[in-house]
Amino acid sequence: MNWRLVSESQYQTPDHLQDQVQRGATRWAGIVAVMVTRRLHHLDLGVSGPRIAFCHGLFGQGRNWTQVAKALVGEDGTGARATLIDLPDHGRSPWSDHFSLQSYAAQVAATLRSLAPGERWTLVGHSLGGKVSMLVALAQPDLIERLAVVDIAPRHYRSHHWYLDYIAAMQALPLDTLTSRAEADALLAPVVPVPSVRAFLLQNLRRHGHTWSWQVNFDVLAQAGTGQRSVAGWPAVDATAYPPYEGPVIWIAGGQSPYVAAHDVEPMRALFPKVRQVTIKDAAHWVHSDQPEVTIEILRRFLTARPR
């Protein structure tokens, strides 16, 4: 993935990139981010109906939303046209040389525009994908018809050091001598004691004959630690430089999750005046995994509701 960041006053679009820049350029406070190569990896489901795209969380992949997407699409494929995206540095999508929520958002937007030129999308984002989706809606509101943000808020999570511990533990696995996925699971257990979380992380471990590799760009994700420009951060200056997003927004929180708090409501409403908050009981951070049927019903109603 090749990105160039230049000042807007200095930027001139080469003739042979005009079409790509029209789809892929995003402006962030006087900076133009131009994508000049291929789109993000994605899986498409459905043959007709409204378009809906899903952005996963940290260490995830688009396929994490398969159960929800299939239910919305329906058996005959006419309930919706769903696209499950692998974010940059995850799954089968290209890797970056630095982490940036803004560039993630620009790449997602460019991918959606290239898949369905001129069409609008419902965009669903969980955790890291929720931050990315919020930025897409703010920066390119013409692209996003509706926004669903799942268990994340527009703020810097300063205390989130856990993902750095997870990265260190995964990087420490002896891939050259690893014999099985079960061995990898056992080696991760001291740092990641919850079996379901280990299974989630190990979905990124790929076997190639007698060798193994990770599908996550750990070095880039750990690069900025837990600072403002990290996975845990939030580009407040860039976000507030845009007008509020005036489309319908549903904000889904897990009743047992600490990610969305009362103090998040005011800044969320400042960016998204039409936001409606829904809390799902008996769900932690992975809301769509803990309560898939409830999540599906909420999104189905949201997808088909008439805009107010």
141-150 pLDDT, tens digit each = 999 999 999 9
Q: Is the dihedral of CA 286, 287, 291, 292 positive or negative?
A: negative
Tokens of 164: 């750095």
Specify the pLDDT at position 38: 62
Specify the pLDDT at position 25: 43
User: pTM, whole model, 2 decimals?
Assistant: 0.88
Q: Does the domain made of 41-156+229-304 have the CATH classification 3.40.50.1820?
A: yes
Listed by start position, the domains of the chain span 41-156+229-304, 162-222
- For residues 60 and 68, is the Cβ–Cβ distance under 8 A? no
The β-bridge partners of 26 are 33
Tokens of 33: 């981010």
Short-list 267, 238, 227, 7, CA closest to 104: 238
Specify the pLDDT at position 224: 85
Short-list 178, 300, 192, CA closest to 250: 300
Strand segments, DSSP code E, in the chain are 3-7, 26-28, 31-35, 42-45, 51-55, 81-85, 121-126, 144-150, 205-208, 211-214, 249-254, 275-280
- For residues 90 and 59, is the Cβ–Cβ distance under 8 A? yes
Q: What are phi and psi of 81, to 5 degrees?
A: -110, 110
Q: What is Dmax (Cα atoms) for the chain?
A: 58
- Identify the segments of the chain with pLDDT beneath 50: 1-37
Active site (catalytic) residues: 127, 219, 285
Specify the pLDDT at position 30: 37
Q: Which amino acid makes up residue 146? A: R
